[in-house]
């Protein structure tokens, strides 16, 4: 089961377009007039089940591109000293109350 956020680049239309790259996806979906009645999760999971990693990778790429675009537009990117960045990436933060 794949959960796909409702981002601009991941609309039902785009997901269906991507699904057309796999010939069997259409066989598991109803007629076009009934598509709008389907839950988003159904379309996502049918497409993911049939396309597998290719679909999952595409979704991940769209999410990364979107997040990078937002980070740049809102100036959310910071520069770190490489040693600090490595330490931050490798750190494990654990919080516990006794």
pLDDT digit of tens for each residue in the chain (98 aa)? 888 999 989 999 999 999 999 989 999 999 989 998 999 999 999 999 999 999 999 999 999 999 999 988 888 878 888 898 888 778 765 555 54
Task: Say what the pLDDT of residue 72 is.
Answer: 87
Residue 1, domain member (yes or no): no
For residue 75, report the phi and psi dihedrals to the nearest 5 degrees.
55, 55
Whole domain around residue 19: which residue ranges? Answer: 8-90
Task: Say what the pLDDT of residue 14 is.
Answer: 96
Asked if 2 contacts 56 with a C-beta cutoff of 8 angstroms, the reply is yes
Residue 67, domain member (yes or no): yes
d(CA 27, CA 8): 26
Residue 49, domain member (yes or no): yes
pTM greater than 0.75: no
d(CA 95, CA 97): 7
Residue 66, domain member (yes or no): yes
Residue 97, domain member (yes or no): no
* Domain count within the chain: 1
Task: Say what the pLDDT of residue 22 is.
Answer: 94
Asked if 46 contacts 25 with a C-beta cutoff of 8 angstroms, the reply is yes
Q: Which helix (H) or strand (E) holds 86?
A: helix 82-90
Residues written for the chain:
98
């Amino acid at each position: 089961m794949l959960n796909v956020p409702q981002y601009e680049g991941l609309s039902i239309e785009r997901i269906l377009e991507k699904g057309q790259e796999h010939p069997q996806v259409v066989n598991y979906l109803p007629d076009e007039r009934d598509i709008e009645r389907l839950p988003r999760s159904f379309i996502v999971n049918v497409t993911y089940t049939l396309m597998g990693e290719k679909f999952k990778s595409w979704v991940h790429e769209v999410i990364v591109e979107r997040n990078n675009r937002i980070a740049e537009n809102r100036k959310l990117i910071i520069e770190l000293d490489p040693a600090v960045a490595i330490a931050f990436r490798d750190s494990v933060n654990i919080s516990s109350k006794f």
